[in-house]
């Protein structure tokens, strides 16, 4: 039973002991031998290469150089006293600097004798220097056996302070490896190993912790990244498959009058190719006796609502009811108005149910839902109340699903014997990379083109000192009868500061755009909901020309006449937020603009964000950049069910490996759904362990 050795508590490893064991547990979550084995280095110091002084770059990378010390001098007084050595090779000279142990170092250094120095390079003016370098006489260096690539392990301040340095971690790893290397068993099938030319697992572990060459390290990383992503994809695919087998749904076999009449006579514009493709995918799902579970992604204004409505009409044609649930009342009202207008000519009954619906209205809705005379119900969380009972709900459309919990969604299911088909809509572009790994158990459809006649929004970046020009531009747009948004960031930690920023901004705008010529709405988080709605509605109805707000307007409000979005302190917003805000304009046929206002001091990340916004309107491209800047953790808000707790792979950088892993997992399940073939035994065993521990690296054997 080789695997059991890997489950040995870390306390028993030679060189650990109780104190170190407690630190490793609390700081790095290392409880067993196995956990330590799966602590992968986050970088390597390459000691295979020797640099010359003339090749140095100010990258603060670790380098090693062969040369001689020619001069030594002590500089400075008291605390700032330091020892400086001039170090030369045939291409140039640099400095070595020590701040501590000066006397001892001075005595030990030999002048004009070849040394190998190693350390981090810094540049001051035109001179390169290394502080506290590792120094070894060339003669000694040539005799000693060295690991060429030195692994650097994840660490914390507490560990370093308690003397668990990188050197200590390296030593522990060596001790561990001698004890457990025979216990590492293969976890992939021979077929996969051969097809992808993967190195064996034991060799991969050896080369990830003790690499001799770059090329060996590359093979080890590929092997372990592939494995991690392969088991994640396998998990998601099995979940999706079980869902389709277990959760039966109503097959919608008819495409009847409602759908065909609407399609042929009442479509307000021709469907784009993308909309047609998505409708086909949905019709295909609905025809099967399994519950549809589809995510519909499309940028703001790409026409998701039409697709949702046509899907509802298919439900109606098959004798079922449909509902649409939105996260806020304003959004629910907009969906209700939009869908009612589109269905004006059809013989369909549609109702709206929100928190503010009157008792009398509710009673009528409840009755007509139960006797089946109400066909489509649109609303907020109010749809989930127990009193809301359908005669036969066949389809639930959920808008901006990340605002509803899983428990809330499942409430909709229990309104019938069989669960309704589910269509989830989102305007938050989830990068394909992430959709594949997080929503792998949903089928994903994407609308990736805008309807004809929509003009792309022009986005520009302006510094605060151009504000007067920007005000002039706003005046011109208002003259043309357009409306303007001005948005201020909301930074939760200091509501007082936010409020001050917003009020200062509001006052300067009120001075530039005085009443009665101009009307201004203001909306912020400290207002009562009723006051917010009142101000929003004044703007929606065109009674005010300028809306000054914190980010409460982010989701969904549709004001076709608003043509300018000004985002103040744009550097304080994340990319996806900037993109969502920009999507509030550009809803009519007029040219719309988004102006990003910032100060002159910008970080590199802020510059990248602003540049991305001004160069593209493609939500998916923006989401990919966002993912690269922020990492997958906070993109999803909460890490969905912990799937993404990755140890070695990186969802963004290893996107290609993820696709390969998904293809192999998918082919494997097609060919051997039960993983019963002898060749697949290692995968079956490993998969069972993964499911048991819920974390891929809690097992190896």
CA distance 525 to 62: 49
Contact partners, residue 403, CB within 8 Å, separation at least 6: 327
Question: Would you state the pLDDT for residue 637?
Answer: 37
Residue for token pair 């003016």: 125
Q: Indicate the DSSP class of residue 526.
A: T
CA distance 179 to 671: 38
| Percent of the chain whose predicted confidence (pLDDT) is above 70 | 88
What are φ and ψ of residue 260, in 5° steps?
A: -70, -40
What are φ and ψ of residue 295, in 5° steps?
A: -100, 125
Read off the pLDDT of each residue in 420-449 and give the average, rounded to a whole number: 75
Per residue in 114-125, pLDDT tens? 999 988 888 888
CA distance 401 to 32: 39
Count the Cβ atoms, other than its own, within 10 Å of residue 409. Answer: 17
pLDDT over 90 at 157, yes or no: no
Q: How many helices (H) and strands (E) does the chain have?
A: 25, 21
Read off the pLDDT of each residue in 253-280 and give the average, rounded to a whole number: 91
CA distance 470 to 597: 9
The domain locations on the chain are: 3-42+154-183, 45-150, 257-447, 458-616
Question: Would you state the pLDDT for residue 458?
Answer: 94
Per residue in 5-50, pLDDT tens? 888 999 999 999 899 999 999 999 899 999 999 999 988 887 778 8
Looking at domain 3-42+154-183, which of 1.10.150, 3.80.10, 1.10.287, 2.70.98 is its CATH number? 1.10.150
Per residue in 559-570, pLDDT tens? 888 899 999 999
Lowest model confidence (mean pLDDT) among 215-229, 235-249, 400-414: 400-414
- The alpha carbon of residue 225 and the mean position of all alpha carbons in its chain are separated, in whole angstroms, by 19
Burial of 413 (0-12, 13-18, 19+ CB in 10 A): middle
CA distance 297 to 446: 5
CA distance 364 to 351: 10
pLDDT confidence bin for 552, thresholds 50/70/90: low
Positive or negative: CA dihedral 366, 371, 374, 378: positive
CA distance 587 to 562: 8
CA distance 585 to 228: 42
pLDDT over 60 at 642, yes or no: no
CA distance 362 to 41: 61
What b/e readout covers 72-109, taking b as 16+ CB neighbours within 10 angstroms?
eeeeeeeeeeebbbbbbbeeeebbbbbeeeeeebeeeb
Dihedral of the alpha carbons of 469, 472, 474, 475, in degrees to the nearest 10: 180
Q: Could you tell me which CATH class the domain 458-616 is placed in?
A: alpha beta
Residue 425: both structure tokens together: 């809509």
What b/e readout covers 287-303, taking b as 16+ CB neighbours within 10 angstroms?
eeebbbbbbbbbbbbbb
CA distance 632 to 590: 36
Lowest model confidence (mean pLDDT) among 197-201, 376-380, 407-411: 407-411
Contact partners, residue 154, CB within 8 Å, separation at least 6: 28, 39, 42
pLDDT confidence bin for 635, thresholds 50/70/90: very low
With beta carbons less than 8 A apart as the criterion, state whether 582 and 610 touch.
Answer: no
Residue for token pair 């495409």: 255
Query: Which residue spans within 456-584 are E strands per DSSP?
Result: 458-463, 483-487, 520-523, 546-549, 562-567
Lowest model confidence (mean pLDDT) among 344-353, 485-494, 677-686: 485-494
Question: Would you state the pLDDT for residue 643?
Answer: 42
DSSP-derived 3-state class of residue 631: coil
Per residue in 185-220, pLDDT tens? 999 999 999 999 999 999 999 999 988 777 888 899
Count the Cβ atoms, other than its own, within 10 Å of residue 235. Answer: 20
CA distance 441 to 561: 39
Residue 126: both structure tokens together: 């035109």
Count the Cβ atoms, other than its own, within 10 Å of residue 173. Answer: 17
With beta carbons less than 8 A apart as the criterion, state whether 484 and 547 touch.
Answer: yes
Residue 11: both structure tokens together: 């306390």
**CATH superfamily of the 257-447 domain:** P-loop containing nucleotide triphosphate hydrolases (3.40.50.300)
**CATH superfamily of the 45-150 domain:** Nucleic acid-binding proteins (2.40.50.140)
C-alpha dist (Å) from residue 142 to 51, 66, 120, 139: 16, 12, 22, 5
Lowest model confidence (mean pLDDT) among 464-468, 615-619, 677-681, 692-696: 692-696
With beta carbons less than 8 A apart as the criterion, state whether 419 and 291 touch.
Answer: yes
DSSP-derived 3-state class of residue 32: strand
Topology alike, domains 257-447 and 458-616: yes
DSSP-derived 3-state class of residue 681: helix
* Average of per-residue pLDDT values in the chain: 85
**Residue 191 — left, alpha, or beta (φ > 0 → left; ψ -120 to 50 → alpha)?**
alpha
Burial of 42 (0-12, 13-18, 19+ CB in 10 A): exposed
pLDDT confidence bin for 313, thresholds 50/70/90: very high
């Amino acid at each position: 039973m080789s695997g059991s050795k890997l489950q040995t508590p870390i306390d028993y490893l030679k060189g650990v002991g109780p104190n170190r064991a407690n630190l490793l547990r609390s700081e790095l979550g290392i409880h067993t031998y196995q956990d330590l084995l799966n602590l992968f280095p986050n970088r390597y110091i390459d000691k295979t290469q020797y640099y010359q002084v003339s090749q140095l770059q100010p990258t603060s990378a670790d380098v090693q150089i062969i040369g001689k010390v020619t001069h030594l001098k002590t500089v400075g007084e008291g605390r700032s006293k330091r020892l400086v050595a001039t170090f030369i090779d045939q291409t140039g000279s640099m400095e070595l600097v020590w701040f501590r142990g000066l006397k001892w170092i001075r005595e030990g250094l030999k002048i004009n004798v070849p040394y190998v120095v190693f350390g981090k390079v810094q540049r001051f003016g035109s001179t390169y220097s290394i502080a506290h370098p590792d120094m070894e006489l060339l003669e000694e260096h040539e005799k000693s056996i060295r690991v060429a690539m030195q692994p650097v392990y994840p660490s914390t301040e507490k560990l370093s302070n308690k003397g668990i340095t990188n050197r200590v971690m390296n030593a522990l790893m060596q001790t561990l490896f001698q004890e457990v290397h025979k216990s590492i068993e293969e976890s992939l099938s021979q077929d996969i190993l051969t097809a992808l030319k993967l190195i064996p697992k034991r060799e991969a572990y050896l080369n990830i912790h003790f690499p001799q060459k770059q090329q060996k390290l590359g093979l080890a990383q590929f092997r372990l990244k592939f494995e991690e992503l392969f088991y994640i994809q396998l998990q998601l695919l099995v979940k999706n498959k079980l869902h389709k087998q277990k959760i039966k749904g109503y097959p919608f076999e008819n495409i009847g009058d409602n759908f065909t009449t609407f399609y042929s006579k009442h479509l307000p514009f021709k469907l784009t190719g993308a909309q047609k493709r998505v409708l086909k995918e949905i019709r295909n799902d609905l025809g099967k006796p399994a519950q549809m579970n589809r995510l519909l992604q499309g940028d703001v204004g790409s026409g998701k609502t039409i697709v949702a409505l046509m899907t509802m009409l298919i439900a109606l044609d098959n004798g079922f009811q449909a509902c649409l649930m939105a996260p806020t009342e304003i959004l629910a009202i907009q969906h209700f108005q939009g869908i009612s207008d589109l269905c004006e000519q059809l013989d369909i009954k549609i109702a709206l149910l929100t928190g503010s619906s009157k008792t009398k209205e509710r009673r009528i809705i409840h009755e007509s839902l139960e006797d089946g005379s109400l066909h489509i119900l649109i609303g907020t969380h109010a749809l989930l109340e127990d009193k809301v009972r359908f005669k036969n709900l066949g389809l639930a459309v959920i808008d901006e699903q990340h605002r509803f919990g899983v428990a809330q969604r499942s409430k909709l299911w229990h309104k019938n014997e069989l669960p309704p088909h589910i269509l989830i809509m989102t305007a938050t572009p989830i990068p394909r990379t992430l959709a594949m790994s997080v929503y792998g158990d949903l089928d994903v459809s994407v609308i990736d083109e805008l309807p004809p006649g929509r003009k792309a929004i022009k986005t520009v970046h302006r510094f605060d000192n151009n504000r007067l020009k920007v005000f002039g531009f706003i005046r011109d747009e208002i003259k043309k009868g357009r409306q303007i948004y001005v948005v201020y960031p909301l930074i939760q930690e200091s509501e007082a500061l936010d409020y001050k920023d917003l009020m200062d901004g509001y006052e300067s705008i009120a001075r530039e755009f005085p009443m009665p010529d101009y009307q201004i709405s203001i909306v912020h988080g400290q207002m009562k909901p009723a006051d917010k709605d009142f101000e929003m509605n004044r703007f929606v109805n065109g009674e005010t020309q300028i809306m000054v707000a914190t980010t409460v307007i982010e989701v969904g409000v549709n004001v076709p006449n608003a043509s300018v979005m000004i985002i103040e302190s744009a550097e304080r917003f994340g990319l996806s937020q900037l993109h969502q805000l920009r999507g509030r304009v550009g809803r009519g046929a007029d040219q719309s603009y988004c102006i990003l206002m910032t100060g002159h001091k910008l970080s590199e990340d802020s510059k990248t964000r602003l540049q991305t916004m001004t160069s593209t309107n493609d939500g998916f491209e923006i989401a990919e950049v966002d993912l690269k800047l922020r990492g997958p953790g906070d993109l999803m808000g909460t890490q969905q069910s912990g799937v993404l707790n990755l140890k070695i792979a990186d969802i963004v950088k290893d996107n290609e490996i993820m696709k390969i892993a998904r293809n192999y997992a998918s082919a494997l399940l097609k060919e051997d759904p039960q993983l019963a073939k002898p060749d697949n035994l290692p995968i079956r065993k490993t998969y069972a362990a993964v499911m048991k521990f819920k974390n891929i690296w809690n097992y190896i054997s």
